[in-house]
Amino acid sequence: MRMVLTAALGFALLTMSSAAGASRENPRDPSPVLRGDWLLLQLVPSPGVALGASGPAATLRWHVTPLLYSFGTDRRLNRFRWFIAEPLYRHSGSVELFADPFYIGRDRPARDRWGLSTGARAHFPWLERGDALSYSVGASMLLLHEGFQPSFEAGLSTLFGVLGVFVHVAPWFDDGYAELSLRVRWF
Amino acid sequence: MGGLRPRRRRWALGAALCVAACAAVLNVSCGRAPLFVRFLWGTLNQPETRPPRHRVVEPRVEGARLVATWVGHATVLLQLDDRFVLTDPVFTSTVGVVSRRYVAPGIAPEDLPQVDAVVVSHMHFDHLSLGSLDRIEDRVAHIVLPEGGLAYVPGSSVPTDELAPWESLELDGLRITATPVEHNGWRYAGDRAWRATAFTGYVIEYNGLSVYFGGDTAASGWMFSATGRRFPDLDLALLPIAPIHPREFMCRTHMDPKEALDAFADLGARAMIPIHFDTFFNSLDEVGEAPRLLRAEMNERGLGPDRVIVLEHGQQHVLVPGDARPLAAPERR
């Protein structure tokens, strides 16, 4: 997995286009810039509810996108983004690798309340090329204190991807696992 | 507090930290907090969309050389002889999902003629409306964007090009040149650090006719003068006159009516049509305030309705009928 990520990042760096010497054939293509306000906003979690045999529990999820390929973006531009992706890059049609840490408020030792969901997710535009409404499907491996199992997700995003509703299901856990989350995301 | 169990104490501490963080954010923007509340209140209490006073069903004016139809906001349909150019097309009932239209478009998208070029001035939701492009793209031949704007027009089914300031694009005799204006190029605020160039004005030329489209701009005398010097024979200037209030905030990116008339003089155009007012309200302006202030300033400067043509939504105006030029070229400032 690490090798795949490294190779993908290397490829993305190689395919980066320069903002210098822009023309109609090679348009200006500025890359996102890391800013403190973006970092702070990434700390805002998406709240949710996890369901399982042990009853409902509140969840908090954070979103990390190491790499995103936007197939909706114009071919003349660099279609890769890592960590920071403008809403239209994501919601006009994209595939992203993600690693979402999450917290489940269950009555168990603190370290057993944390989990990680890592996998791939595809976004497709629905209204206004994804700016107003888009839908997503994804598959991931879900790491909980109960174990490591595949999970699936589907979601709808609106308001340039700032708000969304997502459902995550991991049917192969002994107790079953499902989660409904209100996604709050800024870039 | 001392009587709380450790777990509850942690939650209380967390809640206190959240409240402190919110208070800090409000404190940082304390000067703007009342404005923000008024703006939010206005957004939550937007009036119902009303129909336009004029509705154009057949936009083509036979025999006319230069015709402008104000669809609303910065959307103007220009007829230059047999060619049509549409500026900043917005036909949706809202922009940015939440900002509701005050007056419906003066032309329905399905009544548009074949449009030779759509020019988009910048990336803000009230100028680049992807929902509107979806509705009209089947009758558009070309889309022109400012430098750095292509990233925000995904999935375009028609040729789409960017233009840097002073760069031109030739489309079968129709010449479109990007001109510098004073605004900003971001769309989501979070992209302001890198989407820094995606805003522009345009000069559209065809068959000896020329039209300036200011898009959305703050007052910038040298830019308008430079454009006027490069294009000394402008028949028409489409200039924004709002939002006006709060002025200390809006003046960085928007002209008020007085500044728009200054720009008109700097450009040296024969006629001006004001745009960007009374359609979407993302400011503290009152309905009708911008055209009222414009008319007052016109009176002071002795500018008649032959020079500054204030259109209502959906109203059409023939600027150059037949082969004649109706107005003498004015003195540039």
Contact with chain A for residue B3, Cβ under 8 A: no
Q: State the average pLDDT for chain A.
A: 88
CA distance B178 to chain A (A): 13
Flag the least confident range among A78-87, A166-175, B162-171, B301-310: A166-175
To the nearest 10°, report the CA torsion of A138, A144, A148, A151: -20
Q: Can you tell me the distance from the alpha carbon of A83 to that of B294, in angstroms, rounded to the nearest whole number?
A: 47
Closest CA to B290 of B3, B30, B73, B39: B73
The verdict on B12 and B60 lying in the same domain is no
- Statement: residue B188 has pLDDT above 90: yes
User: Tell me, what's the pLDDT at B45?
Assistant: 73
Q: Are B54 and B300 in contact (CB under 8 A)?
A: no
- Statement: residue B266 has pLDDT above 60: yes
- Statement: residue B323 has pLDDT above 70: no
Q: B207-248 pLDDT, tens per residue? A: 999 999 999 999 988 999 999 999 999 999 999 999 999 999
Strand, coil or helix: B136: helix
Q: B93-143 pLDDT, tens per residue? A: 999 888 899 999 999 999 999 999 999 999 999 999 999 999 999 999 999
Q: Looking up tokens 């300033």, which residue turns up?
A: B297
Q: Which DSSP string do the residues of B239-277 spell out, in sequence order?
A: EE----SSHHHHTTT---HHHHHHHHHHHT-SEEEEES-
B134 CB-side CA count, 13 A: 15
Cis peptide, bond prior to residue A45, ω within 30 of zero: no
* Mean pLDDT across B290-297: 98
Q: B163-174 pLDDT, tens per residue? A: 999 999 999 999
Residue A33, in any domain of the structure:
no
Q: Looking up tokens 């459902």, which residue turns up?
A: A167
The verdict on B172 and B217 lying in the same domain is yes
Q: Can you tell me the distance from the alpha carbon of B72 to that of B104, in angstroms, rounded to the nearest whole number?
A: 8
Residue A156, in any domain of the structure:
yes
The verdict on B36 and B72 lying in the same domain is no
Count the neighbouring beta carbons within 10 Å of the beta carbon of residue B20: 11
User: Tell me, what's the pLDDT at A108?
Assistant: 87
Which residues from chain A sit within 8 angstroms of residue B196, using beta carbons? 30
Which residues from chain A sit within 8 angstroms of residue B95, using beta carbons? none
Residue B11, in any domain of the structure:
yes
Contact with chain A for residue B126, Cβ under 8 A: no
Range of the domain at A148: 46-184
Q: A4-41 pLDDT, tens per residue? A: 555 555 544 444 444 444 567 778 889 999 999 999 99
To the nearest 10°, report the CA torsion of B218, B222, B228, B231: -100
Domain count of chain B? 2
Which residues from chain A sit within 8 angstroms of residue B92, using beta carbons? 128
Residue A32, in any domain of the structure:
no
User: Tell me, what's the pLDDT at A107?
Assistant: 86
pLDDT band, residue B32 (cuts 50/70/90): low
- Is the Cβ pair A131, B147 closer than 8 Å? no
- Is the Cβ pair B130, A128 closer than 8 Å? yes
Q: Can you tell me the distance from the alpha carbon of B50 to that of B93, in angstroms, rounded to the nearest whole number?
A: 11
Burial class (CB in 10 A: 0-12, 13-18, 19+), B15: exposed
Closest CA to B161 of A25, A136, A128: A25
Partner residue opposite A187 with nearest CB, options B92, B98, B190: B190
Strand, coil or helix: B85: strand
- Is the Cβ pair A187, B191 closer than 8 Å? yes
Which residues from chain A sit within 8 angstroms of residue B150, using beta carbons? 27-29, 74, 76-77
Residue A37, in any domain of the structure:
no
Q: Can you tell me the distance from the alpha carbon of B251 to that of A167, in angstroms, rounded to the nearest whole number?
A: 45
- Statement: residue B308 has pLDDT above 90: yes
pLDDT band, residue B151 (cuts 50/70/90): very high
Q: Can you tell me the distance from the alpha carbon of B86 to that of B140, in angstroms, rounded to the nearest whole number?
A: 9
Model pTM score: 0.87
Q: Looking up tokens 């200011």, which residue turns up?
A: B214
User: Tell me, what's the pLDDT at A17?
Assistant: 42
- Is the Cβ pair A128, B195 closer than 8 Å? no
* Mean pLDDT across A106-110: 88
- Is the Cβ pair B154, A35 closer than 8 Å? no
The verdict on B31 and B76 lying in the same domain is no
Q: Are A68 and A83 in contact (CB under 8 A)?
A: no
Contact with chain A for residue B131, Cβ under 8 A: yes
The verdict on B189 and B241 lying in the same domain is yes
Q: Which residues of A125-160 are buried (b: 16+ CB within 10 A; e: fewer)?
A: beebbbbbbbbbebebebbbebeebebebebebbeb
Residue B170, in any domain of the structure:
yes
- Crossing angle of helices B257-267/B221-230, nearest 10°? 30
The verdict on B111 and B242 lying in the same domain is yes
CA distance B292 to chain A (A): 35
The verdict on B20 and B94 lying in the same domain is no
Flag the least confident range among A125-129, B32-36, B56-60: B32-36
User: Tell me, what's the pLDDT at B324?
Assistant: 55
The verdict on B289 and B234 lying in the same domain is yes
Q: Which DSSP string do the residues of B142-158 spell out, in sequence order?
A: -EEEETT-GGGSTT-SS
The verdict on B58 and B19 lying in the same domain is no
The verdict on B31 and B70 lying in the same domain is no
To the nearest 10°, report the CA torsion of B137, B140, B142, B143: -50
Strand, coil or helix: A165: strand
User: Tell me, what's the pLDDT at B23?
Assistant: 55
Residue B186, in any domain of the structure:
yes
User: Tell me, what's the pLDDT at A18?
Assistant: 40
User: Tell me, what's the pLDDT at A52?
Assistant: 83
pLDDT band, residue A3 (cuts 50/70/90): low
Phi, psi of B65, rounded to the nearest 5 degrees: -95, -45
Count the neighbouring beta carbons within 10 Å of the beta carbon of residue A180: 16
- Is the Cβ pair A33, B97 closer than 8 Å? no
User: Beta-strand (E) ranges in chain A?
Assistant: 46-51, 57-61, 67-70, 80-81, 94-104, 114-127, 133-144, 147-158, 163-170, 177-184
Partner residue opposite A132 with nearest CB, options B131, B164, B195: B131
Range of the domain at B156: 52-321
Which residues from chain A sit within 8 angstroms of residue B147, using beta carbons? 22, 27-28
Cα B192 to chain center, whole Å?
A: 19
User: Tell me, what's the pLDDT at B221?
Assistant: 81
Q: State the average pLDDT for chain B.
A: 90
Q: Domain with A62 in it: what CATH number?
A: 2.40.160
User: Tell me, what's the pLDDT at B333?
Assistant: 60
- Is the Cβ pair B134, A129 closer than 8 Å? yes
Closest CA to A5 of A60, A74, A80: A80
Interface probe with A: pick from B91, B125, B150, most Cβ of A within 10 Å: B150
- Statement: residue B35 has pLDDT above 50: yes
- Is the Cβ pair A74, B151 closer than 8 Å? yes
User: Tell me, what's the pLDDT at B2?
Assistant: 42
Domain count of chain A? 1
Contact with chain A for residue B312, Cβ under 8 A: no
The residue of chain B nearest to residue A133, with distances taken between CA atoms, is B97
Residues 6+ apart with CB under 8 A from B97: A132, A158, A159, A160
